[in-house]
Chains A and B, each alone.
Chain A
């Protein structure tokens, strides 16, 4: 029976100090797990950073990932976020070819429909900032390919659970 692969979001609190990202990414590499996206930034707690990692795998793999993450001494807390009850966001910067006024106005229209923002203008291109869930960003990029996408920078997913479900340390 083929194991069902799914996307999982893992939220971790880690010691905010040099070398921790290396420990985490090196553990993934050495155990043969794959990181889809990873975002790191300060958390609400002093001295702790939040790493949000998305991986694609079956349930058993994810269980092992969580255990191996927990085993790392600088990883303080690990939670798997349920996609149903989680707010996920990604930010992307996309530079789009706009060789003439017609294209330019099309791109601006689409950007508005997608609730993005034009953040930089050059004579033959526009730089669009887009936030939202990853599917929306991917859809926008697909659409823009008809005009020609010059550059893309995506942050990867960051996420927190809705309501009272907390990933904080008790």
Chain B
């Protein structure tokens, strides 16, 4: 027991969780915490310029490092500005803990200045939302918050701190164990289910693996690749699973779904057994779910029981941590699996993969070409973040990821403006590797103000804007499905991104050709300040392949 204030207890509790960075913006309801942080050398506070960016940065930090990202905002608008970032982390199962200030307890419910019911707002977009009712419970709540965020299926947790609980001085105990009777994530796979799954896979003629974000979250990439190699089963990934198998691996098929590669969509659709790991059969992955992989028996491994049967009923569900389940499956398979000749099938896969490669062989400054050239300039461990829309799909389709946690994108929520602040978080987590945000001009303008934090906090990243002066993905849909009636997608000639970058003290480079682009990236890689590379592309450019919304994933438009 130590006598201290709630704010001191909070900072102490954060240190015990080994937090060494917080992304945030102070405000009236968090001043007591910031007063304690003023004297705390062990925790770096990164002053963002918008709370949404604080949440996305914490998310990017978490995804790049596998550790929990922490963000902080004041009450009212500070808290509501976090909401998009929290929802984003929730949809993509990213472990962040968001701290919000709140009006003093006596004013709660009185519509006080900068009061908002953030616990009520955040409840459906967090794993749990706490409100501190007295200073002495802060250590317990922080422990619970970090445990919940990082265990089971990871996700965001919110802790709301009324200002007077930060000031209140009490006897604080840090040693109490926590107990959460209603929360018992299941990690171990059921041996009988594993046996059944192994039998099914061992007898499959055309087994295909779909690897999702859960494989990356549980660190199961090597187990996944081992099973793929043992069975000679090709691996398609969801957007969240990109990087779970090196995309230069012969068994890697690339992205699956609405913007899936030809190989992924056709080979998966032809499978007789699907091993779906750490994924949730989202509509963007399955297309028309009734016609998804019609001939396949499906094995679904997920740590979240509620995902089993939510979108698609599997033949064999395995509720477990992906790593442990795959390990158990591998052990069983290595005993019973007899090598099969899959050479005809492998040839077909090679052939389909070649078709995809040929799609990107266009000359000039085509986005697929830019992505390929960029890949050549970056080391394998470089981290890519993306915005949302065409830029994201070009990156997903044509920029290969070689390692887990090197491709960070807003998959579930589809948040334009995510990539840039996420790149800042990723760079803070991994300062020694280049971090590149693949952006569109529309997305970048949603969070570009944090160029300021990137410059002042010395977090140098590279932003590549594929600049079509359009809300490109909406334009693409209008072009393909709405008779080219371009409604409200033209962003016009403003701003000048080079000048914008320079106004913030960042470096701005205009790259009008492929050779200028390569030079710009090389310059940026050497720069110790953030570089924005503005690359004009045609506004008529489409991302292909594409499956029209609601169609089965074999109905591919190749362009």
- Interface of A with B (CB < 8 Å)? 14-15, 19, 22-23, 26-27, 30, 60, 63-64, 67-68, 70-77, 169
Chain A residues, CB < 8 A from B181: 15, 76, 169
Question: Which one of B92-100, B123-131, B407-415, B437-445 is at the interface?
Answer: B123-131
| Residue contact A63 to B305, C-beta cutoff 8 Å | no
Residue B559 interfacial (CB < 8 Å): no
Complex Cα distance, B130 from A15, in Å, reads: 14
Chain B residues, CB < 8 A from A72: 182
| Residue contact B123 to A26, C-beta cutoff 8 Å | yes
| Residue contact B309 to A23, C-beta cutoff 8 Å | no
CB neighbors of A among B156-189 (8 A): 180-183
* Given A19-B119, A22-B123, A64-B310 contact (CB < 8 Å): yes
B38 to chain A, nearest CB (A): 33
Of the A-B pairs whose beta carbons lie under 8 Å apart in the complex, a sample of 25, sorted by A's number, is: A14-B182, A15-B181, A15-B182, A19-B119, A26-B123, A26-B124, A27-B124, A30-B124, A60-B309, A60-B313, A64-B309, A64-B310, A68-B306, A70-B306, A71-B304, A71-B305, A72-B182, A73-B128, A73-B148, A74-B182, A75-B182, A76-B181, A76-B182, A77-B182, A169-B181
Chain A residues, CB < 8 A from B305: 67, 70-71
Residue B41 interfacial (CB < 8 Å): no
Complex Cα distance, B149 from A20, in Å, reads: 19
| Residue contact A63 to B127, C-beta cutoff 8 Å | no
CB neighbors of A among B105-129 (8 A): 119-120, 123-124, 127-128
Complex Cα distance, B182 from A169, in Å, reads: 11
Of all chain A residues, the one with the shortest Cβ separation from B129 is A19
Of all chain B residues, the one with the shortest Cβ separation from A72 is B182
Residue B308 interfacial (CB < 8 Å): yes
| Residue contact B120 to A22, C-beta cutoff 8 Å | yes
Complex Cα distance, B148 from A63, in Å, reads: 24
B555 to chain A, nearest CB (A): 26
B331 to chain A, nearest CB (A): 29
Complex Cα distance, B310 from A23, in Å, reads: 20
Chain B residues, CB < 8 A from A23: 123
| Residue contact B124 to A73, C-beta cutoff 8 Å | no
A89 to chain B, nearest CB (A): 26
A10 to chain B, nearest CB (A): 15
Chain B residues, CB < 8 A from A63: 309
Chain B residues, CB < 8 A from A75: 182
Chain B residues, CB < 8 A from A27: 124
For the residues of A in contact with B, the DSSP-based class is helix
For the residues of B in contact with A, the DSSP-based class is loop
Complex Cα distance, B306 from A152, in Å, reads: 38
A3 to chain B, nearest CB (A): 13
Of all chain B residues, the one with the shortest Cβ separation from A60 is B309
Complex Cα distance, B124 from A72, in Å, reads: 10
B328 to chain A, nearest CB (A): 23
Choose from A15, A19, A73 the contact partner of B127 (Cβ within 8 Å). A73
Complex Cα distance, B306 from A71, in Å, reads: 7
Complex Cα distance, B550 from A19, in Å, reads: 38
CB neighbors of A among B306-333 (8 A): 306, 308-310, 313
Complex Cα distance, B148 from A60, in Å, reads: 28
**Known contacts A63-B309, A64-B309, A71-B305; 10 further A-B pairs (Cβ under 8 A):** A14-B182, A15-B181, A23-B123, A67-B305, A67-B308, A72-B182, A73-B127, A74-B182, A75-B182, A76-B182
Which one of A14, A60, A70, A71 has the greatest number of beta carbons of chain B within 10 Å?
A71
Chain A residues, CB < 8 A from B124: 26-27, 30
Which one of A15, A26, A30, A67 has the greatest number of beta carbons of chain B within 10 Å?
A67
Of all chain A residues, the one with the shortest Cβ separation from B133 is A18
Which one of A26, A72, A169 has the greatest number of beta carbons of chain B within 10 Å?
A72
Beta-carbon contacts of B182-204 to A below 8 Å, as 1s and 0s? Answer: 11000000000000000000000
Chain A residues, CB < 8 A from B182: 14-15, 72-77
Complex Cα distance, B313 from A26, in Å, reads: 25
Complex Cα distance, B306 from A120, in Å, reads: 48
Of all chain A residues, the one with the shortest Cβ separation from B130 is A19
Chain A residues, CB < 8 A from B310: 64, 67
A25 to chain B, nearest CB (A): 11
Chain B residues, CB < 8 A from A73: 127-128, 148, 180, 182-183
Chain B residues, CB < 8 A from A30: 124
B482 to chain A, nearest CB (A): 28
Complex Cα distance, B308 from A67, in Å, reads: 9
Chain A residues, CB < 8 A from B309: 60, 63-64, 67
Complex Cα distance, B185 from A73, in Å, reads: 10
Of all chain B residues, the one with the shortest Cβ separation from A67 is B306
A74 to chain B, nearest CB (A): 6
Complex Cα distance, B305 from A67, in Å, reads: 7
A34 to chain B, nearest CB (A): 17
A148 to chain B, nearest CB (A): 41
Complex Cα distance, B303 from A71, in Å, reads: 11
Chain A residues, CB < 8 A from B119: 19
Chain A residues, CB < 8 A from B123: 19, 22-23, 26
Beta-carbon contacts of B220-254 to A below 8 Å, as 1s and 0s? Answer: 00000000000000000000000000000000000
